[in-house]
Structure 1
Amino acid sequence: MNREVLVYPNKLLRETSKDVMHFDAHLHTLLQDMYDTMVCREGIGLAAVQIGVPLNVVVINLVDDEGSQLIENLYEIINPVILEKDGLTIYQEGCLSVPGYYDEVERAAHIKISYYDRDGNRHEEEFTDLMAIAVQHEMDHLKGRLFIEKLSYLKRKKFEKEWKKKQKAGK
């Protein structure tokens, strides 16, 4: 089911998510809803808190070389923990909770994480490039943080001004 995505400055986006304790049918439904919502909005990642569920659950599905998002390439990442990170990269990020705004953000170029899958099996995996960026971006959501908070003071002020103007125009 396609769910509503919370949009900045919704206060729920500031909540710190809790670990998943039960790997059951409720979790599987949440994961399917998150996937449907992400794909419907042409996103590559979504954290559960973005649809109002403050659990440590992330889905990421990068677009392949043909421009498709194949379900077999979907990552369902539950209770993630960054074990290692190194290097720096800058990438122009966007967010389904901050629609229409993109800016350059600096993140680790390489990460190693541990996480659980939908059945409660633990995995360790290393990521680079866009996948590393997407994982870090979505994990920030689990801590109640948005990518705009990583902007410089001046860029953040400019964003706030433009965002307020856009919100007024939309009403």
Structure 2
Amino acid sequence: MPHASIPGARGRVRPLTLLGDPVLRTPCADVTDFGPELARLVEDLFATMYAAQGVGLAANQVGEPLRVFVYDCPDDDDVRHVGHVVNPRLVEADGLVLRGPEGCLSLPGLEAGTRRYDHAVVEGVTVTGEPVTVHGTGFFARCLQHETDHLDGTVYADRVTGWRRRRLLRQVARASWSG
């Protein structure tokens, strides 16, 4: 039997929502019910993220239009950050703006240089309604901004500019999963 304290150990792997599905473009609703369905969703998000070998996953990426995301992501010092945030708000994004490779489980197999701040702070609550503040730097800051974007109906491709954007859009059009 899976160990209950391991995130996702009791979760169910759900199908990923791919670019083109309207749920990815619709701002997600705040969570108001902190019951067992929410706990199950968080477990499922972890299980799905691990199965897809991602570092973060937002609820709308499994078709649930709710403000929830999970993460298991290193920062630039290789410190591992694992957790979840319900009703997250990006309250700080500052520091250096760096362009780095960014991918997304909803655009499988693709990545593009995307500009993000090197520091980010997200505030929200846990599945039990306890306040939580998550600070991220480097790659983890990129993850926090990326997942919060998802819940606002934005994908990283929207932030890519110039020739990188043109190349990414061509790749999306040619992708086997693209409608």
TM-score range, shorter chain: 0.7 to 0.9
The CA RMSD over aligned residues, in Å, is 2.3
Map 1:48-59 to 2 at 5 A: 48-59=59-70
Corresponding residue for residue 136 of structure 1: 145
Q: SS where residue 109 of structure 1 aligns?
A: strand
Verify the 8 A CA contact 2:74 2:139 in the aligned structure 1: no
Aligned residues: 165
Question: For residues 19 and 92 of structure 2, what CA distance do their matches in structure 1 show?
Answer: 30
Q: 2:29 aligned to 12, 15, 18, which one?
A: 18
1:85 matches 2:77: no
Map 1:17-166 to 2 at 5 A: 17-62=28-73, 73-87=81-95, 88-166=97-175
Q: SS where residue 74 of structure 1 aligns?
A: strand
TM-score (structure 1 length as normaliser): 0.88
Question: For residues 74 and 117 of structure 2, what CA distance do their matches in structure 1 show?
Answer: 21
Letter of the 1:92 counterpart: P
Change (3 A) 1:37 1:96: same
Letter of the 1:43 counterpart: G
Q: Gaps (5+ residues) in structure 2?
A: 1-11
What is the CA-CA distance between 1:133 and the residue it aligns to?
Answer: 0.7
Question: For residues 159 and 125 of structure 1, what CA distance do their matches in structure 2 show?
Answer: 30
Change (3 A) 1:150 1:37: same
Corresponding residue for residue 3 of structure 2: none
Q: Gaps (5+ residues) in structure 1?
A: none
Residue range with higher mean Cα deviation, 96-105 or 109-118: 109-118
Question: For residues 113 and 164 of structure 1, what CA distance do their matches in structure 2 show?
Answer: 33
Question: For residues 100 and 168 of structure 2, what CA distance do their matches in structure 1 show?
Answer: 17
Query: Percent identity at matched positions?
Result: 29
Q: SS where residue 156 of structure 1 aligns?
A: helix
Letter of the 1:23 counterpart: F
Corresponding residue for residue 5 of structure 2: none
What is the CA-CA distance between 1:63 and the residue it aligns to?
Answer: 5.4
Letter of the 1:37 counterpart: T
Question: For residues 99 and 169 of structure 2, what CA distance do their matches in structure 1 show?
Answer: 21
Q: SS where residue 107 of structure 1 aligns?
A: strand
Q: SS where residue 43 of structure 2 aligns?
A: helix
